[in-house]
Structure formats: C-alpha cells, structure tokens
Amino acid sequence: MSNIRKSLVREPIIHISRRTDIPRWHGWLIRCGGVLAGLLLSGLIIFLFFKVNPISAYGSMINGVFGEKWAGKTFYDGFAYSFAWIRDTMILLLIAVGLAPAFKMRFWNIGAEGQILVGAIAAAACMIFLGARVPSGLLLVIMAVAAVAAGAVWGLLPALAKSFWKTNETLFTLMMNYIALLLMEFFVAKWEDPPGSNSISIINRVDKTGWIPPVIEGETFGTSFLVITVLVLIFTTLMYVYLKHSKQGYEIAVVGESENTARYSGISVKKVVVRSMTLSSAICGLAGFFIVAGRDHTISDTTAGGRGFTAIIVAWLAKFNPFVMILIAAFLTFMDYGAKNIATRFNVPNDFSQIITGILLFCILGCEFFINYSVKLDFGRKGGKE
Amino acid sequence: MDQLISLFTTAVTFGTVIMYGAMGEILTEKSGNLNLGVPGIMYIGGIAGLIGSFFYENGNPNAIPFVGMLIALVCAFAAAALAGLLYSFLTITLRANQNVTGLTLTIFGAGFANYFGGSLNTMAGGVGQISVALTSGVFRYSVPALKTIPVAGQLFFSYGYMVYLAIILAIVLNWVISRTSVGLNLRAVGENAATADAAGINVTRYKYLATCIGAGISGLGGLYYVMDYIKGTWANDGNIEALGWLAVALVIFATWKSVRAIWGAYLFGALYWLYNFVPSFIELLNNTFGWSIPPMTRAMQQIIQMLPYVVTIIVLLFVSFRKRKEDQPPASLGIPYFREER
C-alpha cells in the first residue's frame, strides 16, 4: 500500500514554511549576509568594469564620504566633508519617517516625490516674496508651515478618494508626482532668475534670509546640518512614540492589519486613513522645506531628486521602525556618495551609483525571504503521511 | 492644416512608445503583479537594443541593416524580459514587496541604461554621440509610394513598422486576454489567485510568464524610442523614465484594455505635444476673430503638459466612482499570493 502511494504522491523537493520564532539577532545576521552579497556582487562588477581591486574601490568610497583631504587639515575642515552625507541622510530619513504611518496602514503613498516638490515650492515662494519684509527666524517658521500645508493638500486628495471611493492610492499618488513636477517647472519658468535662464539661482544669496543658520556663527563649511540633524532626530523619536505608544498609532496598526477588524471594533476607517495620510504627506512636505532652507537654497526639477522613491524603500526595509530607518538611510546615502566618488575617480558617468544602489537593494530585498520563511530541502524522503 | 497633420503624426510616434510600455504592463497587471519597474524596463530594452546593433554595425564593415534591426529587436526583448524575470523571482519566489521591488528596478534600469549609454557615447568618438544609422534606417523605413499620397500618406503611411506592429499587438493581446482559455486563466489569477489555484491553474507559472513577456513588450517601447523617435542615438536626459510613468498612467486610462490603449496612447501623445501647436492656434484665432489672446509663455507650456496626468486622475476617479465591473483593475492587483498563507 505504501509503495503504491509513494509512486502516486509526488513530494516537492523544496519545503517552504513561514517562521515567526526567529531570534532577532538571527534576522540581523541574515540581513548582514544580504548586504555582504550585494557588496560582493557590486565588487565583482567594479572589478569587471574598471579592473581594480574592489577593496581599494570601497576604500575610495569611504574617502569620498569622509573626505580625501583628511591629511594635513584641521579637524573641522576634515569633518566638513562628511557634513553633506549626514545632512542628506537626515533628509532621506525624514521622508521615510513621514511615509511610515501611511505604509503601516497599508496605504501605498508612492507620492512622496511630489509632496516634497510642492513643499519646496511653497517654502521657496515664501523666501522670494517675504524675504525682504520678515526677519529670518520668523520667515523660517512661515516657510515650514507653508511647506507642511502644501504637502498635506497633495496627500489629502488621494486620501479622500481612497476613503470615499476606494480609488487605488498607488496609482493616484504616482500621478500626483508628475503634476507636482510640472508645477515645479511652471514656477521655475515663472520666477526664473536671471530672466531667460529657465532656472532659479540661489535665493537671498546676500542676506541669507530663510536659510537655516549655521551653529557656529560666521563659519562657511556648513554646520547648519546640525540644526537639521537635531530636528529630524526629534521627529523620528516623536514618530516612534506616536506609532508605538499612542491611540492613533494603534488605530493605524489595526486598519493596516485588517479593515474589517477595525470597523468591527468601532474605528472609523475613513477618519484614520485621511488623518494618517495627511500626516504622512505633511511630513514629506516638511522635507521639501529642509531641502530648500538647509540644502539647495533654490528650487529646480531635481529638488526631490528621487529621494521620495528611495525613502519608500528605506521605510519598507525598516519595517516602519523609525530607528532602523536611520541605519538604512545612512547606508544608502553612504553608498550613493561613495559610488559617485568612484565614478568621478574613474571618469565614468555618475549613473554608476544607481547601478550599485540597485544591486544592493535587490540583495537586501531578496534576503528578507530567508528571515520570514524557512526552506528545507527534501530529497527522496518518504512522501506524505504513512 | 499642416499643423494638424503634424500634430497627428507627432502624437502617433510619441504614443507608440508609451503604447508598448502600457501593453506590457497590462499583461503584467492582468496576472495581479503591479510592476512599477516599467520605466526601468523600458530603459533596459532601449539600451540593450542599441548596444546590440552598435556592436553589430561597428564590428562589421558590410553590415546588413535588416540583420541589425533583428539583433536590436531580439536584444531589447530579451534584456527587458530578463529584467521582468528578476522582478518575478524577487516578488513571486522570494515574496518581496511588489512596489518596492518595482521601484528598485526603475532605479537600477535607469542607472544601467544611462551608464552604458554614456559609455557608448564615449566609445563612439570624442564628440560623444553614438549613432546606429543603418539599423535605425530600417526601423524608420516607410514605403515611399504610399508615403507620398497627399494627406493620407502623411497621416497613415509615414511611420516605421513598429507603429503598425504596436496596433496589431494590441489587438492580438486583447483577443488573447478576453477570448482564449489562456487569457481566462490569466484573468482568474489576477482576480483571485486562491480560486485559480483551487481550479488547478498553475498560478506561479502564469505570473512568471505574464510578467516576463509583459516586460519584454514594455522593453520594445524603449527600443522604439531609441531607434525611431530619437533616430538611433542616446541621450541621458531622463526622457524614457518620464515616458515610462506615462505608460503606467496609460494602463489606468485604458482601464486595463489593450485596444483602448491604442487611441489612448495617441491622445496622450497629442496632449503631451499640444503646447507646440498652441502658438499657431492662438494666432489663427486672433486672425480670424480679431481676438487678442496673449501668446503662450514657457510657464503655460508646463500647465498644458500636465493634461495627460490630470486626465488619468480623472479617469481613475471616475472608474472607482462608477464601479462598473468591466473597468475595474484586477481585484488582487499588487496583492501577493502565497499558497501556504491562505
């Protein structure tokens, strides 16, 4: 009997089952493995393209971030090279933090890019039109509020459509990105300076009103990054508390897990969706303010520069934990800066950094599988129940 | 009149690029996979076709243009399908999130294509402009006898063969999806994978095949852009990415029906290039009616270019508002299916 059965039942060789009991450190070990695999793969590609030892290439990545001219410089000058890295990490982190409440609710806000852009437009508008009339400190507050409001409106529309008509939010927010981009080009054409250049030069270059001020007065190497860092880290902590320890955060989690459960337990799903999505897009708008006031001091069609999309990946990989986001944002920004440095050194297009980022992300995404599932290979074991 | 003809032909050539992208994505989404990597896939298709024909033309003193065309076509389809395979492997087998994987594919594809496009430009000579004139000539060939027919020749016969191929493909795709048992199974997978699985349909195989073939078709859009639209050259200007997102928009506009994507694509093309024709239109109005409409500014041009996206959002809202069954996206679009987790 058992022989007949064996010939009839074909047992799959690979058994996949979900596992939830995996120790946390084990999961991190697998993630490190994924990163390592990504680094090896990119190292192989660096070797094939440039015929250089990947390790020395990675070394020049580190130099690219922390400054090649460390030697013979004062501490501040050497350190200044890494300011840009920390500042860009913080901006990316803020966007990812903003996305967290929406994603936790399973609301796919793909529109961060657009929300950043409209926030930046609003902030720049305040800088241009109020720059001469309002003191810098007050102007910064007005700019931030304007950026938050603009971002909120950009997210409110898809949120309302989703909660009333179940309109697909992924597609709606995606479309809003391009409308924001064209709106940006509209305002760049409208406010162009100097006329005919079709771009806006640094706003308030002389008196620096509406610029986030440096910590050390009068310095020129950019300690304003510290202000951004502190503010963003405060936001990150607040978001962690909000998601983990507040009633509203709990409601978000319930809606994300099951809308029916939420409805049954008396949570107004519509209200939660609109509230959380508006919060999410408002923070993305605020990131637009930070880019204008603390980084670029102008606007262009590259103001968002793909950060909105990268932040989606950051938020997802961190499983919406704001503190894990710090690590991932820092790592991705580091790789981006480093790969750009390699590109400059070997005189190849900057797009090289996108290839490296892509490969790393593919590996990290793939390795999540081995954290969530256990795979057992099964050759010729007796099939089924005997 | 000349202006109208010119708007029509521009709309058709532009529309064909996004039509390929949208057709591939329709096939992919019918299996329930929301692949946001379309821009990246179109990039990869475009650059692979260019690389293939570049090496053929450069390594061969008496290269046959037709062979170059075939090489480009095969390279583009194969490379794009490989990108689709990568997406499928990550999302279907390794169960990674679809949106995140798709976006990563877009980042990777754009970097890959622009990197090699830039390198090819350097390889092609100091001035930095690669050109595969022979191959591109085949892509742009139109029958002279038909083309010279007044008006109609310009309107209908002045395009390269891929314009007509796109229309045929759209009709065939529509027939396969809505009239054959393979299409029925595919739709079942996209609507409710668990039910399809219970009915004995191999969900994994359908998802893999639809995504890979869909990616291949999307890649042809990149190839058409490179070979016909910009005449066998390469420019690192991010245009393909913008077109890729427009293709995703077109999928919604066509409410997941490839036949509707035909006129939808041309409409998008017309809306996209409308700003080019507004000045002469304003002039015409001013001359005939004695009005004094001010000329269009560069800022206004951006507002006009928003139209395809605005129209898409309106369609998206309208479709979800009306709730007509035939117009809905596949029910499990973007939702992964794992048999063990039902």
Domains of chain B: 2-332 (1.10.3470)
Helices A112-130 + A307-317 axis angle, to 10: 130
Q: What per-residue confidence (pLDDT) applies to A384? A: 44
The helix (H) or strand (E) run that includes residue A375 is strand A373-377
Which stretches within B64-202 are classed as H helix?
Answer: 65-88, 98-123, 133-139, 144-147, 152-156, 161-179, 181-191, 193-198
pLDDT in tens, A150-160: 999 999 999 99
How far apart are alpha carbons B243 and B229 in whole angstroms?
A: 12
Residue A3 counted as domain residue: no
pLDDT at B338: 80
Residue A11: pLDDT over 80? no
The mean pLDDT value for A351-373 works out to: 85
Q: Is residue A385 over pLDDT 70? A: no
Residue with more model confidence, B21 or B326: B21
pLDDT at A130 over 50: yes
Mean of pLDDT values over B30-56: 91
A135 falls within a domain = yes
Measuring CA to CA, how many Å separate A367 from each of A57, A315, A363, B28? 25, 16, 6, 24
Which residues 248-287 of chain A have a CB within 8 Å of chain B? Answer: none
Q: How confident is the model at residue A291 (pLDDT cuts 50, 70, 90)?
A: very high
pLDDT at A218 > cutoff 70? no
pLDDT at B81 over 90: yes
Predicted confidence at residue A1, as pLDDT, reads: 45
The pLDDT of residue A282: 95
- Residue A300 covered by a domain: yes
SS3 A47: helix
Separation of alpha carbons A146 and A293, rounded Å:
13
Query: Is residue A24 assigned to a domain?
Result: no
* pLDDT mean over A164-178: 88
E strands along A251-325, which residues? none
**CB < 8 Å to B302, chain A:** 182-183, 185-186, 189
Q: Is residue A230 part of a domain?
A: yes
A386 — pLDDT class (breaks 50, 70, 90): very low
Name the residue among B94, B111, B246 with its Cβ closest to that of A351: B111
B330 contacts B187 by C-beta, under 8 angstroms? yes
Q: State the residue for tokens 């951006």.
A: B302
Give the integer Cα–Cα distance in Å for A70 and A57: 18
Q: Structural domain of residue A285, as residue ranges?
A: 89-324
Count of domains observed in chain A: 1
Band (pLDDT 50/70/90 cuts) for residue A221 is: low
A194 occurs within a structural domain: yes
B108 close contact with A: CB closer than 8 A: yes
- Determine the residue among B313, B319, B327, B333 to mutate to test chain A binding: the one whose Cβ has the most chain A Cβ atoms within 10 Å: B313
| Closest CA relative to residue B329, chosen from B12, B30, B25 | B30
Q: What percent of chain B has pLDDT over 90?
A: 37
CB B304 within 8 A of CB B274: yes
pLDDT of residue A70: 46
Q: How far apart are CA A77 and CA A281, in angstroms?
A: 37
CB hemisphere CA count around B196 (13 angstroms) = 26
- Angle at which helices B2-30 and B203-224 pack, to 10 degrees? 160
Measured between beta carbons, the chain A residues lying within 8 angstroms of B245 are: 174, 177-178
Calculate the average pLDDT of chain A.
83
Residue B41: the pLDDT is: 96
pTM of the predicted model, to two decimals? 0.88
B138 vs chain A: nearest CA distance in angstroms? 30
Does residue A274 form part of some domain? yes
Chain A to chain B Cβ contacts (< 8 Å): 154
Structural domain includes residue A40: no
In whole angstroms, what is the distance from residue B290 CA to residue B282 CA? 11
Chain A nearest C-alpha distance from B75 (Å): 20
* pLDDT-wise least confident of A252-261, A364-373, B189-198, B232-241: B232-241
pLDDT score of A94: 94
Residue A354 contacts B, CB cutoff 8 Å: yes
Q: How do residues B113-131 score in pLDDT, each as one tens digit?
A: 988 887 777 766 655 567 7
Stated as kind and residue range, the H or E segment containing A147 is helix A136-165
Strands (E), A19-98: none
Average pLDDT over residues B235-242: 81
Nearest CA in chain B to A357: B108
Q: Identify each DSSP E strand in A81-231 by its residue range.
A: none
Residues across chain A: 386
Mean pLDDT, residues B241-245 = 89
Query: Exposure string (b/e) for B252-281, b if CB count within 10 Å is 16 or more?
Result: bbbbbbbbbbbebbbbbbbbbbbbebeeee
Q: Is A327 at the interface with chain B, CB within 8 A?
A: no
Q: Locate tokens 């409410």: which residue? A: B255
Indicate whether A8 pLDDT > 60.
Answer: no
**pLDDT per position as a tens digit, A82-93:** 778 888 899 999
pLDDT in the model for residue A281: 95
How close, in Å, is residue A373 to chain B by CA atoms?
9
